[in-house]
């Protein structure tokens, strides 16, 4: 490939990487300040009902709260806690799983409420959003149970953040505001230097693959899935459209609700579209993002856990709808 062929890819990738880097920087910077100012107790108060039973430290509660505003910033916090030794790999996977519902919450206000519900109508719109909320909550509660069963004091170290951030170096004297900001800034820069180059490389690689790979082959799964659960034949093109663009899929099925599809069948069709879309979105977005945050080895584990749990609980939701 000619060097000039990389320029369009770079122009496509660099703004995306820059945007993600900003959110990661905000998340990591906030994580350090929260610890430095001693705000963990206040921010993590409500989330302690989840982190406590899951045997996770209060610091994870700050990441959970942050995820409701920005998934990327929340992941940045968790990456910081894993890097500093607060969480080992098993505890990090549990924390990522618990984050699921809070990552869903932000989409209610940015997409589901203003865009999807008006397209689908109130009945089907609320049914679909309710189903997705139940799926996300089920995954979060699964993470809580997993933490209760699988985690112990060996998997977490709440003192690691303080030690790594250098708070112990000031002895009994209180850190000044300037020193805390400078320390948080240094820690954030160190994390960005580790994550952003890897993120950029993976995004470029995946974008190159997208230019030479026919992702529509994934949609061959649509027909067997819709036939398995007894949906109308018209569900296949809806699933295909929904897999590549949620808004387009919703707009395509909306006129057929009440005629070709019952409300429950419509919701089941869109959920199946979500299963197919995981294959596409994992390749296009999850792999570059998760590999950039965690590296290939641990990033693959995060993707496997996230995708596996979503598919399982979506399948359960579809089964309930079509029975």
Residue 123 corresponds to which tokens in the numbers above?
A: 């009945």
- In degrees, rounded to 5, the angle at the alpha carbon of residue 105 between the alpha carbons of residues 101 and 110 is 145
Residue 46 corresponds to which tokens in the numbers above?
A: 């409500």
- In degrees, rounded to 5, the angle at the alpha carbon of residue 58 between the alpha carbons of residues 54 and 61 is 80
Residue pair 20/72 in contact by the 8 Å Cβ criterion: yes
* Region for 230 from its dihedrals, namely left if φ exceeds 0, alpha if ψ lies in -120 to 50, beta otherwise: left
| Nearest by Cα to 293 from 198, 206, 201, 207 | 198
Question: In 266-296, which positions are buried (b, 16+ CB within 10 angstroms) versus exposed (e)?
Answer: bbbbbbbbbbbbbbbebbbebbbbbbbbbee
- In degrees, rounded to 5, the angle at the alpha carbon of residue 35 between the alpha carbons of residues 90 and 47 is 60
- Higher-confidence position of 98 and 177: 98
User: Position of tokens 């230019």?
Assistant: 211
pLDDT at 168: 42
- State yes or no: pLDDT of 91 exceeds 60: yes
Question: What pTM was estimated for this model as a whole?
Answer: 0.74
- HSE on the CB side for 107, CA within 13 Å? 15
| Nearest by Cα to 151 from 198, 219, 195, 87 | 87
Helix (H, G, I), strand (E, B) or coil at 144: helix
- State yes or no: pLDDT of 247 exceeds 50: yes
257: β partners: 261
Residue pair 40/58 in contact by the 8 Å Cβ criterion: yes
261: β partners: 257
CA pair distance 311, 278, nearest whole angstrom = 9
CA pair distance 153, 71, nearest whole angstrom = 27
CA pair distance 207, 66, nearest whole angstrom = 29
Residue 239 corresponds to which tokens in the numbers above?
A: 């699933």
Mean pLDDT of the residues in the chain: 78
- Higher-confidence position of 101 and 209: 101
Following DSSP, what letter does each residue of 44-105 receive, concatenated?
Answer: TTTTHHHHTTTT--HHHHHHHHHHTT-HHHHHHHHHHHHHHTSB-HHHHHHHHHHTHHHHHH
- What share of the chain has pLDDT > 90, as a percent? 25
Q: Is the dihedral of CA 259, 263, 268, 273 positive or negative?
A: positive
Helix (H, G, I), strand (E, B) or coil at 87: strand
pLDDT at 241: 75
- State yes or no: pLDDT of 113 exceeds 70: yes
Reported confidence tier of residue 220, pLDDT bands at 50, 70, 90: low
pLDDT in tens, 146-187: 999 999 989 998 776 544 444 444 443 445 777 777 777 887
- Higher-confidence position of 72 and 153: 153
């Amino acid at each position: 490939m000619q060097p000039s062929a990389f320029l369009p890819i770079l122009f496509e990738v660099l703004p995306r990487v820059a945007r993600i880097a900003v959110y990661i920087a905000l998340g990591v910077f906030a994580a350090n300040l929260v610890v430095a100012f001693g705000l963990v107790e206040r921010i993590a108060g409500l989330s302690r009902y989840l982190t406590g039973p899951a045997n996770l430290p209060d610091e994870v509660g700050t990441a959970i709260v942050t995820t409701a505003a920005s998934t990327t910033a929340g992941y940045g916090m968790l990456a910081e806690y894993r890097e500093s030794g607060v969480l080992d790999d098993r505890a990090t996977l549990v924390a990522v799983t618990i984050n699921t519902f809070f990552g869903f919450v932000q989409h209610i206000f940015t997409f589901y409420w203003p865009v999807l519900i008006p397209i689908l109508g109130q009945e089907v719109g609320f049914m679909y959003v309710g189903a997705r909320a139940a799926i996300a909550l089920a995954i979060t509660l699964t993470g809580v149970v997993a933490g209760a069963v699988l985690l112990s004091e060996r998997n977490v170290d709440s003192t690691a953040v303080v030690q790594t951030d250098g708070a112990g170096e000031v002895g009994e004297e209180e850190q000044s505001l300037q020193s805390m900001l400078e320390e948080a800034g240094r820690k954030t820069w160190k994390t960005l230097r580790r994550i952003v180059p890897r993120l950029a490389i993976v995004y470029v690689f995946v974008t190159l693959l997208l230019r030479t790979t026919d992702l529509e082959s994934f949609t061959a799964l649509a027909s067997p899935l819709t036939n398995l659960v007894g949906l109308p034949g018209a569900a296949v093109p809806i699933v295909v459209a929904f897999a590549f663009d949620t808004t387009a899929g919703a707009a395509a099925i909306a006129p057929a609700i009440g005629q070709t599809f019952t409300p429950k069948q419509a919701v089941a069709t869109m959920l199946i579209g979500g299963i197919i879309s995981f294959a596409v979105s994992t390749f296009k977005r999850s792999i570059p993002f998760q590999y950039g945050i965690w590296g290939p080895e641990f990033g693959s584990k995060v993707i496997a856990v996230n995708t596996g749990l979503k598919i399982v609980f979506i399948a359960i939701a579809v089964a309930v709808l079509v029975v």
